[in-house]
Amino acid sequence: MSTAIKPRHIGRNISRIRELRDMKQEALAIALGVSQQSVSNLEGSESVDDEKLARIAEALGVSTEAIKNFSEDAVFNIIGNTYNDDSSSIKNYNCTFNPLDKLLEVIEKNEKLYERLVEAEKEKVALLEKLLDDK
């Protein structure tokens, strides 16, 4: 019995990543500039040359290492450990403030800023008039 590690099936990894990305073979084919049949053949092959793999990785939005080392067990493990179903708990998303009060505060701040701006412009005009009168 052989204990040699079986090489990963790169085509199958590409297929699973494409499916997880919710991408059809035709969309990947368009991104690569090949036919859908070529993508189908590619996904059936055990190995892919590095240049082509780099183009595929770019089209799928993953690294070449992610394709080479893809493992469905790892994906399900990550999902299982990070997914949290909060449907059983009751949440209260009520505001702790009145949004209209906040809106009025903002309007008052804008009015004060506008008044200060008008006052600064009046001071500029008065200074310029004084300078013109001195000449």
pLDDT at 33: 92
pLDDT at 125: 96
pLDDT at 67: 83
CA atoms 57, 62, 64, 70: torsion sign: negative
pLDDT at 123: 96
As averages over each run of 10 residues, the pLDDT of the chain (135 residues) reads 61 87 89 91 87 88 82 67 59 70 93 96 95 87
CB 57 within 8 A of CB 67: yes
CB 42 within 8 A of CB 11: yes
CB 35 within 8 A of CB 29: yes
Residue written as token pair 């084919």: 29
pLDDT at 12: 87
Its pTM surpasses 0.75: no
